[in-house]
Chains A and B, each alone.
Chain A
Amino acid sequence: MRPGVASRRIASACVLGATALLSGAGGALLGLCGPFTDTAADAFCPFVLEIFYLGITTGTTATTYSPDGNVTRLQMAAFLSRSVDRSLARGGRRAALNQFWTPQNGGVLGIAPLDFIPTWIESDGTDVWVPATDGTEVWRIRGSDLKFVENWLGVANARGIVIAAGKVFVSGYATPGALYRIDPTLPAGLADTVATNLGSGPAFLTFDGGRVWSANNGGSVSIVTPGTSLPWTVTTVTVGGTTGVLFDGSNVWATDANGGKLLKFDAAGAVLQTVTVGGGPQIPVFDGANIWVPNGGSGSISVVRASTGAVLATLTGNGLAIPESAAFDGERILVTNPTTNSVSLWLAAGLIPIGTFSTGANTMPWGSCSDGTRFWLAFNQSPSLARF
């Protein structure tokens, strides 16, 4: 049993009640409010019952809620934590689709065969887009049934991908690097080349609402500003050997695999903050509050608060081998372990390990993303995508 889950269940049995939210309720006459004999069946009762039915409280005993009792900060933590967990579990699309399971092994994954070895993938919410690593095409796989939809040509040395501004952008992993644009509103055909002067080795892409950013393995970050005519303007800033890049809603962050750093940039590409993480940080993901950084060189995950840059935790265990990429589905974090043909999962809100799951022999899961319901994996050893 997962230790975090075990402790929560035990705590559920001993948390004291609360009415700070509902001041005044205790002044009413005693009545019968669900299982609680000390709580009036008045206007506050539905609120008490809701948090009881949701599992946010179990009462102070099986038959009492202690409506006049105060709430300590410790008890409040339990109530708020459970409120978040229940809201996320119910609000997700997995709940509506009755998909509460986690695939337990590689044999139950949905597999979409490809003609090439994939590295990075991205979902538009309906379909998954896959650049042919170092190749000339980009495939589109339908998320609902894993069927091939179309392929786009005209890219060279395809590698990183981001879906933004109604387009699909793919980096050309060369020296200098290139950026290609696919207009998915059109029938499949040739991608447009929008820039050919990015830094060397653009490996991963992100978007900040106005511009495309690339993390370049050659030791730079490029910022591409869309324009009304081609080519688009490119600004390249020299930093360490960046690998992964993301946007947190305010700033762009990139991992420096050589330096073991996570770098925060301002809008011009200047480094605002340097956070020391583990060895060989790879492809991170932002969960709305924190950045999860898989440290390939040290077999760990650094969880960094985006607002301050503080390292909240360094996670080990849970099957982490040489973690490569992270994805977030709104509730869970998935991290790929290519060398052990597995993925590791955590509940994102509490950093609670869920488990490690095999993806099958010789699969080497590398890139990952989520479509909001399921995770998707790029198998770097067998030419395929997997729906996890």
Chain B
Amino acid sequence: MKSFPKHRRLPAILLALAAAGLGAAEAVVATCGPFTDTAADAFCPFVLEIFYLGITTGTTPTTYSPADNVTRLQMAAFLSRTVDGTLKRRGKRAALRQYWTTQNSTVLGLTTVAQSPRFVRYDGADLWVSCSNGISRVRASDGRPLETWTGAPNAAGVLTAIGKVLIAGGGNPGSLYVIDPSQPAGAATTVASNLGNVAIGIAFDGTRVFTANTSGSVSLVTPGASIPWTVTTVSSGFITPTGAVFDGSNVWITDSDAGTLLKLDPSGTVLQTVTVGSNPNFPVFDGTSLWVPNATGSTVSVVRASNGAVLATLTGNGLALPRAAAFDGQRVLVTDSGSDAVSLWKAADLTPLSTIPTGASTSVYAAASDGVSFWITLSNVNKLARF
């Protein structure tokens, strides 16, 4: 029987050796867990931790080769496993014992929402869903429908920011609606009605709300103390803006007809144009990279936000008219509007995980994550599904 606490005890002689700067390999050879070539000294707990975590298996089952150097190739494996292990443990799914991936449409958790749901966003407790006849609020913990707000015709992209829920209104001209979730459900407030035509994508940069207007513009809306809020609409450089996302530094817009991803400065000027696939729609940022679903291209472009480099163009894994992407801290989910399915990837290394059907004729549209589950809108059946 291995009695782990023994490994933590530090004989005085070994401490003295360590303090003198001598490497462990130079100390008395002892047993450190399974490793007979590694001293049971102050370093042993570190070796054991990365062994228990699966970051290393040793150079053989009984040796760790503690004095060997690490090549850059070996380092890549060690760092990759370190990131993977950390993300897996840190996600809330681990604490809730939810290591599974939903396998089929029968085990989706379904909540009935208003008519023809499209976009969904999580506020930290509840989900907000834009529908053709209202905005539905659903509690994430149990999927219970809480309330429905009205007064948001042509509701499209949803954003939770500044303590409010903001919705792009895709009319002509476009509008911006605001819901104060601290108030009883009622009609949303129209804070601007002079956005570019057909506002659909929406993002917030900490100061302004950006909307992507498919008529060929981007509107910047500055929240103010009184209504209407100030709107600036920029048309230069845009053909069909569709999706919008903020990466912590810049807003990015997908231009679906141009097949590009556009990096904007705070005034809406295009700083960089990245060619992606055909008909890019609604992207997500994973902390490092932007995942851009290219609908008619049936691909996903993965773009490094810091420099705009296209790291990979993903194909297969069930991609069929991919519409929108969501990120849960570990995985990226892409909705496949052409096949009533969703495709999953491991975000850290772009590894395909699986494709899961959402049910025949459900018309899956967009997705969000609450940090535990993904939530997807099924437009044709008026459902929000917990995945």
Contacts and interface: CB of A to CB of B under 8 A. Distances in A.
A28 interface: no
B47 A370 contact: no
Interface in A245-290: 246-249, 285-290
A330 B103 CA distance: 24
Given A185-B143, A353-B5, A74 B23 contact: yes
Given A185-B145, A228-B106, A80 B55 contact: yes
B155 to A, nearest CB: 22
Nearest to A227: B106
B99 A73 contact: no
User: Which among A87, A122, A353 has the greatest number of chain B C-beta atoms within 10 A?
Assistant: A87
Given A20-B72, A72-B70, A351 B4 contact: yes
Interface stretch (B60-68, B172-180, B309-317): B60-68
Given A88-B90, A207-B100, A77 B25 contact: no
B239 interface: no
A348 B48 CA distance: 12
Interface in B32-78: 33, 38, 42-56, 64-70, 72, 75, 78
Given A166-B143, A209-B103, A316-B3, A73 B66 contact: yes
B95 A371 contact: yes
A192 interface: no
Given A166-B386, A307-B54, A125 B96 contact: yes
Given A73-B65, A127-B142, A84 B49 contact: yes
Given A20-B75, A125-B92, A209-B100, A352 B67 contact: no
A318 to B, nearest CB: 8
Contact of B89 (A185, A287, A307): A287
B96 A7 contact: no
Contacts, number: 263
Nearest to A124: B141
Contacts of A353: 4-5
B52 A331 contact: no
A349 B90 CA distance: 11
A10 B18 contact: yes
Contact of A165 (B10, B91, B109): B109
A285 to B, nearest CB: 7
Nearest to A71: B70
B102 interface: yes
Contact of B43 (A74, A314, A350): A74
Interface residues of A, number: 93
A297 interface: no
A352 B144 contact: no
A108 interface: no
A246 B97 contact: yes
Contacts of A377: none
A55 interface: no
Nearest to B19: A14
Interface stretch (B80-88, B205-213, B267-275, B360-368): B80-88
B96 A370 contact: yes
A151 interface: no
User: Which among A75, A77, A92 has the greatest number of chain B C-beta atoms within 10 A?
Assistant: A77
B220 to A, nearest CB: 31
Given A11-B18, A77-B50, A88-B86, A72 B67 contact: yes
B110 interface: yes
A80 B52 contact: no
Interface in B1-34: 1-5, 8-10, 15, 18-19, 21, 23-25, 33
Given A70-B69, A73-B66, A91 B90 contact: yes
B53 A14 contact: no
8 contacts: A23-B72, A73-B56, A74-B67, A127-B142, A166-B386, A185-B110, A288-B85, A330-B90
Given A14-B21, A88-B89, A208-B103, 18 more contacts: A72-B23, A72-B68, A74-B47, A77-B43, A84-B82, A166-B386, A184-B143, A209-B100, A209-B101, A210-B107, A247-B97, A314-B3, A330-B90, A331-B89, A350-B48, A351-B49, A352-B8, A369-B97
Interface of A: 2-4, 6-8, 10-11, 13-16, 20-21, 23, 70-78, 80-85, 87-88, 91-93, 122-127, 162-167, 184-186, 206-210, 226-228, 246-249, 285-290, 300, 303, 305, 307, 312-318, 328-331, 348-353, 369-372
